[in-house]
Amino acid sequence: MTALLLCADPLAPARSRRADPHFAREAEAAALTAVIDHDALARGDVEEAVRRVPRDLGPAWYRGWMIGSDRYADLERALADRGCRLLTDAARYRRAHELPGWYEVFQGRTPASVWTAEPSDDWLAEAAARLGSAGAVVKDFVKSRKHEWATACHVPDLGDRAALRRVVDAFLDLQGEDLCGGVVLRAFEDFTGPEARVWWLDGAPAAVTAHPDTPGERVEPDLAGVGERVAALGCRFVTTDLVRRADGAWRVVEVGDGQVSDFPEDTEVRPLIEALSNA
Ligand SMILES: Nc1ncnc2c1ncn2[C@@H]1O[C@H](COP(=O)(O)OP(=O)(O)OP(=O)(O)O)[C@@H](O)[C@H]1O
Ligand SMILES: [Mg+2]
C-alpha cells in the first residue's frame, strides 16, 4: 500500500493529523495517509514539515500545494531519513514541474518557447525573432499571470518592443519573490474551447478531467502521440493540459507534476487516488 502525504490543515492544532480541507476528497479516498506542514516547508523548516509523518511509512506520493523544486528535494531527503520514499524523486519532480524540464520532450506539440534568467532588452529582441510568431505569452518556469492577461501575460505584437518590455516588467513586478526560475516567452497560438487535464500514471491516462478554471466543461482530447512523450519524460505521475487550436490540432499547453496539479471542484477523485494507492 502506497501512502498519500497531504498538506496538514493550517488551522488545526499543531499535532493534528487532519488534512487541509482543500484535499478532503483525497483524504477520504486514500487508505493510508499522513500529513506534512506545507507552511513550515515553504519557510525552510523541513524537520518541522515532516514531524507528523510516522516513521517507516514506506513508499509515498505527495498530494498538495505546489512546492518549489529545491524545497521538494529537501522534503525528499527529510522523508528518506524517516523511512519514507517519495515515488517521484526530486529530479523528476523538477522535470515535470518546470517548463525547461519538459519542453524538449514535448517540442512540436506545444507552443515554441524560449527562456532566460535575465530578460535584457537584447535577449527580448532575440527571443522575439526566434519565436517568429505575431504574439506571445509570458510566464515563469511554472506559472503565468493569466488573470492580468492584458498587462502582464499577453503580448499581442512582438514587433512592438516597448510593449513587450512593459508586459515582461509588469510580470516580474507582480511575481516578485515568487518568481520561479526565470522568464519564459511562448509563441501565441489561437486556442478554442476549454482545456482538458489528462492525468498520466505509469504511462497510461488514468483520468481526464476539466481544467480547474473551467469546471464542468469536460472535453475529450485527441491523445495521439502524447503517451509516447509522457513515457519519454520518465515521470510516473504527471498531468498534461490539452486544448484544441483553431486549425483543429490538439496542443499541450503545459505539463505538470500530478502531485501538485489541482482537480476541478466537481471531480470524483476516488478512482485516481485508488490507482495511486496501488501503484
Ligand atoms: N502559447 C499560448 N498561446 C495562447 N494562449 C496561451 C499560450 N500559453 C498559455 N495560454 C493561455 O494562458 C493560460 C495560462 O497559461 P498556462 O496554463 O501556461 O499558465 P499557468 O499560470 O501555469 O496556468 P495553470 O493554472 O493551468 O497552472 C492558458 O490556459 C491559455 O489559455
Ligand atoms: Mg495552465
Task: Summarize pLDDT for 57-88 with one digit per residue, the tens.
Answer: 999 999 999 999 999 999 999 999 999 999 99
Closest to 235 measured CA to CA, from 260, 251, 205, 258 = 258
Question: Which of 141, 167, 187 represents a domain boundary (last residue)?
Answer: 187
| pLDDT score, position 43 | 96
- pLDDT value at residue 69: 98
Judge if 139 and 270 occupy the same domain. Answer: no
Answer yes or no: do 196 and 158 share one domain. Answer: no
Q: Is 144 in the pocket of ligand 1 (CB under 6 A)?
A: yes
- Rounded to 5°, angle at Cα 267 from 88 and 141: 45
CA distance 85 to 253: 30
Number of domains the chain contains = 3
Q: Is the C-beta atom of 251 inside 6 A of ligand 1? A: no
Query: Whole-angstrom Cα distance, residue 266 to residue 215?
Result: 7
Nearest CA to ligand 1 atom 10: 137
Say if CB 17 and CB 46 are below 8 A apart.
no
Residue 93 parent element (H or E): helix 90-97
**CATH code for position 258:** 3.30.470.20
Per-residue pLDDT at 80: 98
Compute the distance between CA of residue 157 and CA of residue 150 in angstroms, rounded to an integer: 12
> How far is it, in rounded angstroms, from Cα 177 to Cα 186?
22
Q: Does one domain contain both 195 and 268?
A: yes
Q: Is the pLDDT of residue 243 over 90?
A: yes
Q: 60 CA distance to ligand 2 centroid (A)?
A: 26
Pair (183, 241) in one structural domain: no
Residues 167 and 224 placed together within one structural domain of the fold: no
Q: What is residue 79's predicted lDDT score, i.e. its pLDDT?
A: 98
Give the atom of ligand 1 at the shortest distance from the alpha carbon of 144: 21
Instruction: Kindly provide the residue ranges of all beta strands, DSSP E only, lying in 179-258, ordered along the sequence.
Output: 183-187, 191-201, 204-210, 237-245, 250-257
Parent domain of 65: 3-87
Regarding whether 195 and 165 lie in a shared domain, the answer is: no
Residues 168/154, Cβ–Cβ less than 8 Å: no
Lookup result for grid cell 484544441: 244
Answer with the one of 187, 202, 229 that is the final residue of a domain. Answer: 187
Where is average pLDDT lowest: 10-14, 46-50, 138-142, 171-175?
10-14
Residue 28 sits in the same domain as residue 73 = yes
pLDDT at site 61: 98
Centre of ligand 2 from the C-alpha of residue 244, in Å = 14
SS3 189: coil
Check whether residue 28 and residue 150 sit in a common domain: no
Q: In this structure, are 102 and 201 located in the same domain?
A: yes
Q: Which atom of ligand 1 is nearest to the CA of 142?
A: 22
pLDDT tens by residue, 109-160:
999 999 999 999 999 999 999 999 999 999 999 999 999 999 999 999 999 9
At which of 158, 187, 216 does a domain end? 187
